Structure 1
Amino acid sequence: MKYYVGIDLGGTNIAVGVVDENYQIISRSKMKTNAIRPAEPICDDMAAAVHMALKNASLTLKDVYWVGVGTPGTVDHTTGVIGYANNLDFHNVPIKKMMEERLGVKVYVENDANAAAYGEAVAGAAKGVQNMLAITLGTGVGGGIILDGKIYSGTHGAGGELGHMGIVMGGRHCTCGRNGCIEAYASATGLINLTKEAMQEHKDSKMWQFAESLEQVSGRTAFDAMREGDAYGEAVVDTYVEYLAYGLVNYINIFAPELIVIGGGISKEGEPFLKRIREKISAQIYGDSTVTRLACAQLGNDAGIIGAAFLGNLADNL
């Protein structure tokens, strides 16, 4: 049996998994990232978490083919340098070199959204698919692009920022500093903002039954009200899906992927949610909308660990 280690480095947690050749996570470890702090102690903690996960699996680094790291920010996977990660305050951090010094094995590094997309491609909803996009609807809109079975990340790893495609000129302000990005509209944050605005305008909406105050509004509020027959909840969901589909059509027109995998908490709405998106896409698409399928992500938070663990398969020398 072959074993690999995947590290999902986040702004809040460091999650590590030992993954076997069948894409099964056989052991885990987790610790707080405690950002923002220097890269050296974070790498020390990542190394400690790797040893912990291996110990839990009764393995050592001698049993591991390589270690993969999925990290926020722009990553040059050829050099293993994180150019910039705002939630870690990393600037030109040679994380590959730092982790290889600590572990004594080959280390591969990739952007976390790309690693998660690769995880879905090798073991999840997109298994066997050569051309796919993975979209995560969370606090922001994360994205990963797989073309011809490989991660596309652009020059110096700065590409694939699917959440920062503009869909409304002069629209809502985005965290990237630009206005009108799809992230400002189609993220869970965007949905919450749409919901709050509708609730303030319609005090008789059933959305108030599911969120007694604006501070309690979640990505589920409008969906829950819609299921109770609330016309205002229905309108919020329809508007939200319209924005999301508008962006997805742009991706389809550019990449013509076989599959788009949608993850994040909102994806738990499942097939009824996908059906609404498909209807909006069909009304806007250039050409044949049946070229691209939609599916909900299958691996959840494990996608980043599994994708990172198999980054070595993408290396030119393998």
Structure 2
Amino acid sequence: MKQSSRINVNLMKDYNKQLVLRTIQKYGPISRAEIANRIELSKPSVSEIVSILIEEEWINEKVPKVKVRGRQPIPLEINKHKKLIIGLEIGAYSNKIVVTNLKANILEEIEIEISHEKNPIHIIEDLGSRINQIVSQYKQSNIDVLGIGVGMHGLVDTDTGKNIFAPNLGWRNVEIKSILEKLTGLQVLVDNDCNSSALAEMWFGQGKDENNFITVLVDYGVGASVINEGKIFKGSHYVTGQIGHVTIDSDGALCSCGNYGCLETKTSETAILRSVKRNLKLGGMSTLQTLYSDIDNITIDDFYEAVNAGDELSLSIARDVARNLGAGFSILINLFGPKFIILGGSLTKISDVILPIISDVIQLKVLGEDAKETPIKSSVLGRNLYTIGAASLIVEDIFTLPKLN
């Protein structure tokens, strides 16, 4: 009984320490008294834990901006200089390595083009070598690098850190975690980019302080992640959230997954460009024709600029994309009942055009009056969403509260 009691006391101490640290991460700068009130822990206990966290360089004291009479409360914040994370985005066209602090401020960024002819294991080994060079520089300054978070598209076994299938890369069964851990000696966590981006939204974006929402990413692919009670809902078979591969047109185009008529074939960047070029070749009129002598050179960013400039052909295609996304979003709302949905990825560049149409479709297709009003938000994390998402895998691991039983 005495040993069990001692274990329970130690568990509770670890829990309270983690709770204080998590509170400072989420709500800092915050005073000791505010922490005590927020988590219902005694002020002496909070002060004792804070002293330990300062000594371990997890947090530091901040000079108050406003002076008040009497004893001045000292704000506490996460130490932005002593604990860093590597975020690795494995994309369809390029890989990106970033160094961030625990507040998702990017300190360093490297982008490397992907060679689709190159063996994926060699690509991962090259990334590990580059990461080692980065980490060694920070170690020389006595800065801790806490781990590597990896976000990529497709199916990922998060327990083993293995890529199962990445359709846009053609990768199958690549042991990303074990290769990187062996090369770097750091903890490595791997997940698909939808889940990692959802964590970025929960810690640093539109989902901060919310426990039940869905993120949908649209760029070269389409995927979703469900945050339920503050955790990623994963289900079985590694396919949870693959809304891009729901069939919405049984006579539709061939998808990268091998199916026909997936939502992705109607709404991804590839689908959008295919539609633009087809319409132009059939005689459609657009300002896009003036950009290049060869229509095939038109880029997705050209399309987004044309939409925002009011080009009618581009707007028509954007509206079709929005209507199809509305159908996909409606499925998600009917299945999971989220508080809101966050749209991320490059399609956020035309949010003003597509979000109202998505909401109109939801009004028609979703069951229940309250659910019909589900807000659709645009991510504010921009081009850094994926890399911050990758780093957020480590953030989530660091700040997750330990189980008490």
The TM-score, its normalising length taken from structure 2, stands at 0.68
Structure 1 residue 293, shift from structure 2 partner: 1.5
Q: Distance in 1 between matches of 2:199 and 2:133?
A: 25
Structure 1 residue 282, shift from structure 2 partner: 1.6
Match of 1:5 among 67, 86, 95: 86
**Range with bigger deviation, 296-305 or 246-255:** 296-305
Structure 1 residue 167, shift from structure 2 partner: 1.1
**Range with bigger deviation, 288-297 or 13-22:** 288-297
Aligned residue for 2:17? none
* Matched AA of 1:18: V
Structure 1 residue 309 and structure 2 residue 395: aligned? Answer: no
Q: How does 1:257-276 map to 2 (within 5 A)?
A: 257-276=338-357
Structure 1 residue 9, shift from structure 2 partner: 2.0
CA contact (8 A) 2:225 2:240 kept: no
Structure 1 residue 61, shift from structure 2 partner: 9.1
Q: Label 1:5 to 1:182 Cα distance change in 2 as closer, same or farther (>3 A).
A: same
Q: Distance in 2 between matches of 1:257 and 1:280?
A: 16
Q: Label 1:59 to 1:268 Cα distance change in 2 as closer, same or farther (>3 A).
A: farther
Q: Distance in 1 between matches of 2:251 and 2:223?
A: 21
SS in 2 for 1:215: helix
* Matched AA of 1:7: L
Structure 1 residue 248 and structure 2 residue 329: aligned? Answer: yes
Aligned residue for 1:122? 203
Q: Label 1:165 to 1:223 Cα distance change in 2 as closer, same or farther (>3 A).
A: farther
Q: Distance in 2 between matches of 1:251 and 1:155?
A: 17
Aligned residue for 1:109? 190
The TM-score, its normalising length taken from structure 1, stands at 0.84
CA contact (8 A) 2:138 2:144 kept: no
Aligned residue for 1:65? 146
Aligned residue for 1:14? 95
Structure 1 residue 127, shift from structure 2 partner: 2.0
Aligned residue for 1:236? 317
* Matched AA of 1:4: I
Q: Distance in 1 between matches of 2:251 and 2:227?
A: 30
* Matched AA of 2:86: V
* Matched AA of 2:377: A
* Matched AA of 2:391: A
**4+ runs of 1 displaced by more than 6 Å?**
none
SS in 2 for 1:102: helix
Match of 1:296 among 374, 378, 391: 378
Q: Distance in 1 between matches of 2:141 and 2:181?
A: 15
Q: How does 1:75-154 map to 2 (within 5 A)?
A: 75-154=156-235
Q: Label 1:57 to 1:174 Cα distance change in 2 as closer, same or farther (>3 A).
A: same
Max Rg structure? 2
* Matched AA of 1:259: F
Q: Distance in 2 between matches of 1:42 and 1:61?
A: 29
Aligned length: 317
Structure 1 residue 8, shift from structure 2 partner: 1.2
SS in 2 for 1:175: coil
CA contact (8 A) 2:304 2:350 kept: no
Q: How does 1:199-238 map to 2 (within 5 A)?
A: 199-201=280-282, 203=284, 208=289, 214-219=295-300, 221=303, 224=306, 228=310, 230=312, 233-238=314-319
* Matched AA of 2:146: Y
CA contact (8 A) 1:81 1:92 kept: yes
Identify the structure with bigger relative contact order (alpha carbons < 8 Å, sequence gap 6+).
1
Match of 2:239 among 131, 150, 158: 158
Match of 2:360 among 269, 279, 283: 279
Structure 1 residue 207, shift from structure 2 partner: 6.0
For structure 2, the residue ranges without an aligned partner over 5 or more in a row are 1-78
Aligned residue for 2:125? 44
**Range with bigger deviation, 136-145 or 218-227:** 218-227
Aligned residue for 1:193? 274
CA contact (8 A) 2:135 2:145 kept: no
Deviations 1:174-199 (A, max 9, x none): 22111111111112232333334444
**Range with bigger deviation, 150-159 or 249-258:** 150-159
* Matched AA of 1:166: T
Q: Label 1:86 to 1:11 Cα distance change in 2 as closer, same or farther (>3 A).
A: same
Structure 1 residue 297, shift from structure 2 partner: 1.7
Q: Distance in 2 between matches of 1:21 and 1:9?
A: 21
Structure 1 residue 201, shift from structure 2 partner: 4.8
